[in-house]
Structure 1
Amino acid sequence: PVNWQPPGCLFSVSATNNALQIRAIRRKPAESVKISFDNVYQVSVLSLVDKGEFSLYASEEDMQRAILLKPSLLEEGFKPITYEKRVEPGFVDIYGIDKNGRFVVVEIKRKPAGRKAALQLAKYVDSVRSMVNREVRGVLVAPNMARGVQRLLATLGLDFKALDPKKCASILIKPEVKRLVDFFEDKGK
């Protein structure tokens, strides 16, 4: 097993009572891990390189995949058309149509959405409006918003949808399985 310790941890190793003990201490927050080994068959010292991103829950890409897998996470009746759609200022995370036939531009943030995310979404919506002859909505998706962002979204005419990365992670771990009967009943609606 692997136990990651952040930079700045203090380590101590000792041999007592025919056992090897390793202890890691972290000051902030205060915590420690103590491991005792009764038998040691091999000791290896390696220089490990870990380029992976540490994430307890879902990344923005995972949140995007969860919405594509289960569009009702955004809202009932939402139908994704594409994702990472190229528009003049950048890439739209998800592009789709709502239950009223309006185009929807979705910007996803894993952390609390700030002013920069709201302004970025406004630029994407303006870009899409210039390309289509239909009403366009913008929806900012994040666990929550930074102070003042709700007022900015209202001023810009944009919507907010609170979505917890934990919920997205759980959907990706165990995708919903539909029975064949349920599938055909949904198609009939």
Structure 2
Amino acid sequence: MASVRYIVDPDLAAGYDFINSAIVQRDLLVVAARCSVVYEGRGASRLGEGDRLIIVKPDGAVLVHRPTGYSPVNWQPDSHVITVERQDNSILFRSVRKRPREVLEVTISKVYFAIAVHGLVDDAEFIEYLDEGEIADYLARHPEVVEEGLRIIRRERPLESGYADMVAVDSEGRYVVIEVKRVTAGLEAVKQLHRYVENFRKANPEAKVRGILAAPAITKDALSLLTSLGLEYRHIDVAKLYREAKREKRRGGAASLLEFIKR
């Protein structure tokens, strides 16, 4: 179980002891402090004194954040050596990488608070799901995921009000306009599919046309509207599609979109 220590508004001596102890124990360290930063390595930079958030991870990654914005203003992806020195009116924190040699020095003149967490564990698998285009590409290669007997005839079909993700022909010879969403489909997704179906009917007045909305989930209101418009919903498991697409890529067996269009 992780253990947490913290210190609030310490003097520099107590702040030094706390920060140095956290570094020695390879804790996750978060420090709100007034500091300046100097970097030398593949380039060089100097950041004047200001209030910053300093994060040091157990693997030696170091990030210095301003009070606003999500990107760090300075960082080291890892450190071979981290040292903390007590100076007359400051604490000098130094992170050194050997290859390429990079040195990040943070001179701390005031510590507002510091938190050290020891024993954090995170071994969960990270799954980065597909975006809508990648999902549609996979479904174009495997239309049976949407419905058995479908044959895709066009990806990104231009219509009067936009581009339909896919147009297919079903086992009974009817055209099927398919719109794909990677998140829960709401009313706007249903309205979008309806526009595409009506555009397709207008351009092909003699054709029998269906509309399918493929998404991992759909809101109650959206499903009610979809049904009232004579359209259909198909559940897709985005995590499963990601795993299958990844497996295809490893096998090298997936046809490219260009190859698919040429078929």
TM-score of the superposed pair, with normalisation by structure 1: 0.70
What is the CA deviation profile of residues 62-91 of structure 1, one whole-angstrom value per residue up to 9, with x for unaligned ones? Answer: 111110121111111111111111100100
Segments of 5+ residues of structure 1 without an aligned counterpart are 1-12, 26-32, 46-54, 178-189
Number of equivalences: 151
What is the CA deviation profile of residues 16-63 of structure 1, one whole-angstrom value per residue up to 9, with x for unaligned ones? Answer: 4984746267xxxxxxx9515594251455xxxxxxxxx821111111
What is the CA deviation profile of residues 138-188 of structure 1, one whole-angstrom value per residue up to 9, with x for unaligned ones? Answer: 0001001112111111110000000021122112101297xxxxxxxxxxx
Structure 1 counterpart of 2:162, one-letter code: G
Name the structure 1 match of 2:260: none
Coordinate RMSD, CA, aligned: 3.0
C-alpha spacing 1:141/1:17, structure 2 compared with 1 (3 Å): closer
- SS in structure 2 opposite 1:154? helix
Contact 1:64 1:93 in 2 (8 A): yes
TM-score of the superposed pair, with normalisation by structure 2: 0.51
Q: Does 1:23 align with 2:28?
A: yes
Segments of 5+ residues of structure 2 without an aligned counterpart are 1-17, 31-55, 61-78, 82-95, 105-126, 252-263
For residues 89-104 of structure 1, the aligned pairs below 5 Å read 89-104=161-176
Structure 2 counterpart of 1:95, one-letter code: V
C-alpha spacing 1:20/1:78, structure 2 compared with 1 (3 Å): same
Match of 1:169 among 242, 254, 263: 242
Structure 2 counterpart of 1:70, one-letter code: H
Contact 1:63 1:108 in 2 (8 A): yes
Name the structure 2 match of 1:35: 58
User: Identity of counterpart residues, as a percentage?
Assistant: 29
| Structure 1 residue ranges, 4+ long, deviating more than 4 angstroms after superposition | 36-39
Match of 2:229 among 153, 156, 159: 156
Separation in 1, partners of 2:23, 2:193: 62
- Relative to total residues, which structure has the larger strand share, 1 or 2? 2
Name the structure 1 match of 2:190: 118
Name the structure 1 match of 2:137: 65
C-alpha spacing 1:123/1:23, structure 2 compared with 1 (3 Å): same
